[in-house]
């Protein structure tokens, strides 16, 4: 069937809608701002009818019209283990519809016509509780470790880890989730049957075996810079929050964070060394864009959960038995020599307390095995000396 026969095709409405949407995914670039304006308010079928009408002002899409072959794309996808998921399908992630309103003043916006999916999982279910982990391609060892550690921890709690399948932080996040047999999704800027970067082919196969590869581009499409920016909105919209691990000031990860902000999702940033240029973008998010500073899985779970759930406890130092001592007993203990013994009068002078009070306090401290007495006077016990870092 040729592309011009889409409109009158026989069959169910959902079949016709799927074919039209597949055709539009080939003809119109993801998030094309000109298309958002030209086809605002039109259904996919109405959009195709307008494109087919030869109306003025639509020349930018005419070069692809003659090449569109949606049934061939659908067959090619099926042969590669992919499927085309559209609105109305049980797999369609409803949260992506936020893109109908979010970022309309930004580049590369809008809801995709459909999503080409590779993998056995149910897209809607896999993304129901998910977090994006994004960051620099040229990441540091610290960033790679942080991304993998956070991803494995999230996956261990049943959270799906979403990223972009690129080098660096993306790959580390995917591998972290896979290391604990968790679920992970790679949102690609190319066809779901295309391995880019090629050296990540084995990683993509592992993801497809247990998670999902997702793209709004039909089979065989290659990545471009603008397609990377367009796919960032999908990463942000389909997840509950976006974690930026490492990002330079002009990093694409900041674009993902911006989309997360516009979609009303949580934005989190992992701090890095103040000397690292790869962490400047993450620090900027915290300082100027109200991102939540995160250092643990617990921080992320609190940020993406309903209010009152998964609350993190304020960090405290380990309990110290000395904290329970009365002030006078503490002052007396502070005045007891470490090694060279002293008698009660000398300790009282050092502590600024009466001899009678000090004598009572010394007895209390001795009962607690914090100090000991010999003929030369009082000093700390070997056990307490070691706890303070002194030689026994």
Using 50, 70 and 90 to split pLDDT, how confident is the model at 13? Answer: low
List the one residue out of 258, 255, 240, 245 whose CA is nearest residue 295.
245
What structural domains and CATH numbers belong to the chain? 1-71 (no CATH), 80-304 (3.40.50.450), 321-387 (1.10.10.10)
Q: What residues contact residue 219 under an 8 Å CB cut-off, 6+ apart?
A: 73, 76, 77, 80, 82, 116, 191, 192, 193, 194
Stretch among 189-193, 332-336, 388-392 having the lowest mean pLDDT: 388-392
Structure tokens at 338: 């470490």
Amino acid 292: pLDDT = 96
**Tens digits of residue pLDDT in 15-72:** 899 999 999 999 999 999 999 989 999 999 999 999 998 888 898 898 888 889 999 9
Q: For the whole model, what pTM was predicted?
A: 0.83
**Tens digits of residue pLDDT in 234-271:** 999 999 999 999 999 988 899 999 999 999 999 999 99
Distance CA 351, CA 332 (A): 6
Distance CA 352, CA 205 (A): 73
């Amino acid at each position: 069937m040729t592309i011009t026969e889409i409109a009158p095709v026989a069959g169910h409405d959902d079949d016709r809608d799927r074919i039209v949407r597949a055709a539009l995914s080939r003809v119109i670039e993801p998030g094309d701002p000109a298309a958002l304006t030209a086809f605002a308010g039109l259904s996919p079928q109405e959009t195709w009818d307008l494109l087919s009408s030869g109306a003025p002002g639509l020349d930018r899409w005419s070069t692809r019209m003659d090449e569109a072959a949606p049934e061939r794309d659908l067959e090619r996808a099926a042969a590669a283990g992919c499927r085309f998921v559209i609105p109305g399908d049980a797999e369609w992630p409803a949260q992506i519809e936020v893109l109908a309103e979010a970022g309309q003043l930004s580049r590369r916006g809008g809801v995709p016509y459909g999503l080409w999916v590779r993998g056995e999982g149910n897209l809607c279910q896999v993304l129901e509780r998910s977090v994006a982990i994004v960051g620099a391609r040229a990441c540091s060892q610290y960033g790679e470790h942080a991304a993998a550690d956070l991803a494995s921890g999230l996956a261990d709690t049943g959270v799906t880890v979403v990223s972009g399948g690129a080098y660096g932080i993306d790959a580390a996040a995917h591998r972290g989730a896979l290391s604990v047999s968790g679920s992970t999704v790679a949102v690609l800027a190319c066809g779901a049957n295309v391995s880019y970067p090629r050296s990540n082919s084995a990683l993509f196969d592992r993801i497809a075996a247990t998670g999902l590869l997702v793209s709004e581009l039909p089979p065989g499409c290659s990545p471009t810079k603008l397609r990377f920016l367009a796919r960032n909105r999908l990463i942000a919209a389909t997840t509950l929050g976006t974690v930026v691990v490492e990002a330079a000031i002009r990093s694409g990860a900041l674009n993902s964070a911006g989309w997360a902000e516009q979609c009303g999702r949580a934005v989190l940033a992992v701090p890095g060394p103040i000397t690292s240029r790869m962490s400047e973008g993450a620090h900027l998010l915290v300082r100027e864009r109200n991102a939540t500073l995160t250092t643990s899985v617990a921080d992320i779970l609190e940020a993406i959960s309903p209010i009152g759930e998964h609350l993190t406890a304020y960090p405290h130092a380990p309990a110290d038995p000395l904290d329970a001592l009365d002030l006078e007993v503490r002052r007396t203990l502070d005045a007891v020599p470490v090694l060279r013994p002293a008698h009660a009068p000398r300790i009282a002078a050092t502590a600024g307390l009466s001899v009678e009070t000090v004598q009572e306090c010394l007895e209390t401290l001795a009962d607690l095995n914090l100090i000991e007495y010999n003929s030369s006077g009082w000093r700390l016990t070997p056990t307490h000396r070691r706890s303070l870092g002194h030689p026994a």
